[in-house]
Homo-oligomer: A and B are copies of this chain.
Amino acid sequence: MSTSTSPRGPDPKRDIVLERVVKASPSLLWRVLTEPEHAKRWTTPLPWETVECEIDLRPGGIFRTVMRSPEGQESVNLCCFLEIVKEKRLVWTNALLPAFRPAPTPDGVPFITAEFTLQPDGRGTRYVAHVMHRDEADCQRHVELGFHEGWGTVMQQLADFAASLDRG
């Protein structure tokens, strides 16, 4: 019996990749991605907002946000950082709790690992989000749950906020 190794790089059946060039330097974009006061500005699609954000930027460290709707409904995201290469690469998952403990299945959304890479591109930064699922069914379900609307909006909010700081 043999099991093939998962290669690095996207798998078209199980992964979703979003990419865009952001009008901010890698160092500024990195701060926007990793500093809680900045992250609160873009991590939740409006009209919801991020009311709490905790980031412990090390492997095994916590990444936790609390999102709130205009009506006061709240939702918690609790993730674990896996890999941090300053201004280049950031990886977290919701399949592990902080300190790497296996996580309970989250409400609604599937388990994912999200890998973000930053590359200088002219005066800006090419920003790639690679979202991995355990299988095709989970990936498909994530799409049906509105992945593209949610993550697309968040990526736009991120790009707008980073560009506003770059100009500022």
Contact = CB atoms under 8 A, between A and B. Distances in A.
A149 B78 CA distance: 34
Nearest to A97: B6
A108 B152 CA distance: 38
Interface in A50-85: 54, 59-60, 62, 64, 66, 74, 76, 78, 82-83
Given A5-B98, A60-B91, A103-B134, 19 more contacts: A3-B64, A5-B62, A6-B98, A7-B99, A8-B99, A59-B59, A60-B82, A93-B100, A93-B102, A95-B95, A95-B103, A99-B132, A100-B113, A100-B115, A101-B113, A102-B111, A102-B132, A102-B138, A104-B135
Contacts of A59: 59, 82-83
A133 B74 CA distance: 27
Interface string A1-19: 1110111100000100000
Interface residues of A, number: 41
Contacts of A6: 97-99, 101
B1 A76 contact: yes
A159 interface: no
Contacts of A7: 99
18 contacts: A1-B74, A1-B76, A2-B66, A3-B64, A3-B78, A5-B54, A5-B62, A5-B98, A6-B97, A6-B98, A91-B100, A93-B102, A96-B96, A97-B134, A101-B133, A101-B134, A102-B132, A102-B138
